[in-house]
Structure 1
Amino acid sequence: MKVTHRYSLENFKLFVKPFERVINTITLAGGRFIFVGGCVRDVLLNESPKDADAEVYGIPLSKLKQALELVDIVSEVGKKFGVLKLKNYPIDISLPRLDTKTGPGHKGFSVKVDYSIPFRQAAKRRDLTINAIGFDPVKNEILDPYEGVRDLNKRILRAVDSKTFVEDPLRGLRVAQFASRFFMDPHKSLLFLCQTLDITELPHERIFEEIRKLLLLGKQPSKGFLFLKEAKLLEQFCPWLAHLSESRWSHTLLALDQAVTVRPTEEDTALVFMLSVMCSALDPADTRSYLKSCVMKEKLKGSVSLILEKGHLILEAQRVANKADLFWIGRELHKTGLSWRDLLLFLKTMNPKALWVTDLCEQVFATGASNPKNLEPVITGDHLIKKGLRPGKEFNDLLNRCLKIQYEQGITNADRILEEIL
């Protein structure tokens, strides 16, 4: 999908307004306030940043902190980076810094904070040109030493510096995420750089965090996954997906892009849904292996496995055998915090043109199998105790028989069910 944009400095006026008091206070203290990073990129893309990052040039950290304390309550985080947070403003403010590679991984850097360096030198540590753009709100001026605005207009992802880019292997995953989120194409030179990266040295949680963003924020996930495969990064953290047959791979990409159009708004639900689609072509054992490496709640991993298990059974049969099965499946889903809506969304995404999926939707809602109240057992342990029975193996067997009668015969009267088993 080709997407173009036109940016206007008017967009920055709206973005800057909530921070005017902060900017004016720093300026009066002798500092130069510059918005940096993703917030500048997002404003240029006509999007609304949820928060902001800024660098202050010309004054030391002590003076910066003293000035900010006139505005709000200040807390210092990441002391070696010199980052200041304000209680009532969604912004991180820091001094410009220089990063030097000293060891493996994304944390193997020494950091030198230096408020006297020019913006161009400070921006050189950024990964991509689109993230190396600054905005000076006092001069109403865009600072673009690496032609990031040009690359935004051309929808190209390009490294700021080829030597420093490869020092942090996490950047290869960020490229995939940005390609997916902003409909952008990595430059050939960037692809070559990413093909040299070893992401196996990264912690699992950092890898999964970038994939999570790709799945939850991506507008065209296929773009990101195609890049990951071409850059030989996918095989390093999910070889089962990288080695799918061409037909299964193509279907997975199509399904991921289809999934974006119906992606739930609640984060955990959306993550379960998108991961289920991502793993839909994998064997169950391979899915378990991949999920094991994902740093997420165990409950969510179980939800993905259940959606895939039930989803594949239904996709293969193209139906649910009988009314009772609708309730049994609904009960299993409900136990893990899911519902029939989640499973039907997966089925519709995997087979969007299938009429039988539409029929199944109507069947589920017509029978009431989607209503959690209808899934609850009519007969509980209290009913059996009142009949003189004691808890034990036979006790549990009787409860299961009661639930079977309830689901299979549609009986919801407690006395009638008890008559059937006693």
Structure 2
Amino acid sequence: RSSIKKDLYRRDFTINALAIRLNRTPGELLDFFGGRRDLKDKIVRVLHSLSFVEDPTRVFRAIRFEQRFGFQISKETQHFIQQAETMELFHRLSGTRLGNELIHILEEPEPAKGIQRLSQFKLLPFIHSKLHWKEPAPALFASGEKILAWNEVENAKPGTERWLLYALAWFESLGKTELVKTWKRLGFPQRTTATVGEFLQAQSTLIRTLNKKHLAPSEIYDLLTPWPKELLLFLMAKAQSKPTIHVAMERIRDYLTTFQHIAITITGHDLEDMGLPKGPAYRRVLDRIFKAKLDSLVVTQEDEYRLAKTFIQQETASGSHSKSPSVVRKGGWR
């Protein structure tokens, strides 16, 4: 049976190799490796010289803890990191393990500090040979931090994947093909990687269209609704440093704060009660009412019903409705 000392010896750092005794003398602090002293001195220190040989991902956790807590990696541990880099131990890591550590760093409150530290330790080539930490990425990270803070205030809904905005700001310089290839190797979520690839291809056209002088809210909605919130926040971060696309940023802001929260009250059941046969016409009618609501052409529930009657008459007159069943969302349409 392993002793508590042997168990703690397998931990990453001295500061998380502490334990509290629960038997015999409950409450006694077990500190075999100087973790309490390192906590007091704000030091991140590995327990032995082979720590990074055993698990190279510890380097990324050392950097993450150093930046999160405002600690300093000990000189001896820095030397071991340099040895690991010289020995190219990071090539032994699976892409998924490396990718997980990068996501953890990018989820930190100030991820730029962690990336800068990775760069100082010359670890970026192990991620991609052409990946650097230089402008415009640092400026985009700073803008992204402000945009994410704004988003937290404006949108109460949790669940924003902060890492995605920062990862795109960092990897964008590689270009679509290399970014997608690298993200696949790193084990980033497949659907996210595919969507980002499509986004990079559409980005220029999207910004140019959003920056047009005249654009109805329904048109803005159609342009932006296919893309995840994090990618739209990334565009807003980009626009902060480019006054020429400020209009695009304002329209994304309107979408995130207003348009995407608009809903209509009329439902498919209401359309059925009004005499519209079930079929694809349900979606067409509800979509047209929803877009009218976005464009402020209808305001009240009565307006929606009045417009629905007009659209139903048009559908009936054109004979374009189908007898096939259609699934319509209950409780309103968005």
Task: Name the TM tier (shorter chain).
Answer: 0.5 to 0.7
**Aligned match of 1:224 in 114, 122, 135?**
114
Q: How does 1:186-225 map to 2 (within 5 A)?
A: 186-197=73-84, 198-216=89-107, 218-225=108-115
What is the one-letter code of the residue matched to 1:202? L
Any conservation in 1 of the 2:14–2:47 contact (CA below 8 Å)? yes
Separation in 2 of the partners of 1:241 and 1:326?
Answer: 38
The 1:324–1:350 alpha-carbon spacing in structure 2 relative to 1, beyond 3 Å, is closer
Q: Does 1:297 pair with 2:185?
A: no
The 1:225–1:320 alpha-carbon spacing in structure 2 relative to 1, beyond 3 Å, is same
Q: Does 1:136 pair with 2:26?
A: no
Q: Number of matched residues?
A: 277
Gapped regions of structure 2 (runs ≥ 5)? 265-277, 298-306, 321-334
Separation in 1 of the partners of 2:142 and 2:253?
Answer: 26
The 1:364–1:170 alpha-carbon spacing in structure 2 relative to 1, beyond 3 Å, is closer
Separation in 1 of the partners of 2:163 and 2:90?
Answer: 22
The 1:343–1:203 alpha-carbon spacing in structure 2 relative to 1, beyond 3 Å, is closer
**Aligned match of 2:280 in 351, 373, 382?**
382
- Report which of the two has the higher share of strand: 1
What is the one-letter code of the residue matched to 1:286? E
Separation in 1 of the partners of 2:184 and 2:262?
Answer: 30
The 1:298–1:235 alpha-carbon spacing in structure 2 relative to 1, beyond 3 Å, is same
Deviations, residues 388-413 of structure 1 (Å, cap 9, x unaligned): xxxxxxxxxxx9xx99xx79xx6886
RMSD over aligned Cα, in angstroms? 4.4
Any conservation in 1 of the 2:147–2:236 contact (CA below 8 Å)? no
Aligned match of 2:169: 277
Separation in 1 of the partners of 2:223 and 2:252?
Answer: 17
What is the one-letter code of the residue matched to 1:382? P
The 1:292–1:118 alpha-carbon spacing in structure 2 relative to 1, beyond 3 Å, is closer
Separation in 1 of the partners of 2:252 and 2:16?
Answer: 45
**Aligned match of 1:175 in 62, 67, 73?**
62
Deviations, residues 78-104 of structure 1 (Å, cap 9, x unaligned): xxxxxxxxxxxxxxxxxxxxxxxxxxx
Any conservation in 1 of the 2:103–2:163 contact (CA below 8 Å)? yes
The 1:312–1:229 alpha-carbon spacing in structure 2 relative to 1, beyond 3 Å, is farther
Aligned match of 2:129: 239
Aligned match of 1:347: 235
What is the one-letter code of the residue matched to 2:251? L
Deviates more, 1:272-281 or 1:141-150: 272-281
Deviations, residues 22-76 of structure 1 (Å, cap 9, x unaligned): xxxxxxxxxxxxxxxxxxxxxxxxxxxxxxxxxxxxxxxxxxxxxxxxxxxxxxx
- CA shift, 1:354, in A, is 7.0
Separation in 2 of the partners of 1:290 and 1:248?
Answer: 20
Any conservation in 1 of the 2:52–2:58 contact (CA below 8 Å)? yes
| Percent pairwise identity | 20
The 1:162–1:371 alpha-carbon spacing in structure 2 relative to 1, beyond 3 Å, is same
Aligned match of 2:303: none
- Report which of the two has the higher share of helix: 2
- CA shift, 1:221, in A, is 1.0
TM-score (norm: length of structure 2): 0.63
TM-score (norm: length of structure 1): 0.52
The 1:308–1:187 alpha-carbon spacing in structure 2 relative to 1, beyond 3 Å, is farther
Q: How does 1:63-142 map to 2 (within 5 A)?
A: 113-114=1-2, 117=3, 119=5, 121-137=6-22, 138-142=25-29
Gapped regions of structure 1 (runs ≥ 5)? 1-112, 375-379, 385-398
Q: Secondary structure at the match of 2:102?
A: helix
Q: How does 1:321-360 map to 2 (within 5 A)?
A: 321=212, 324=215, 327=218, 330-331=221-222, 333-335=224-226, 338-339=228-229, 342-352=230-240, 356=246, 359-360=250-251
- CA shift, 1:286, in A, is 2.8
Aligned match of 2:268: none
What is the one-letter code of the residue matched to 1:148? G
What is the one-letter code of the residue matched to 1:192? H
Separation in 2 of the partners of 1:157 and 1:212?
Answer: 21
Q: How does 1:240-255 map to 2 (within 5 A)?
A: 240-242=130-132, 246-255=134-143
Separation in 2 of the partners of 1:256 and 1:362?
Answer: 14
- Taking CA–CA contacts closer than 8 Å with sequence separation of 6 or more, which of the two structures ends up with the larger relative contact order? 2
Q: Does 1:145 pair with 2:32?
A: yes
Any conservation in 2 of the 1:176–1:227 contact (CA below 8 Å)? yes
- CA shift, 1:161, in A, is 1.0
Q: Does 1:286 pair with 2:184?
A: no
Q: Secondary structure at the match of 1:196?
A: helix
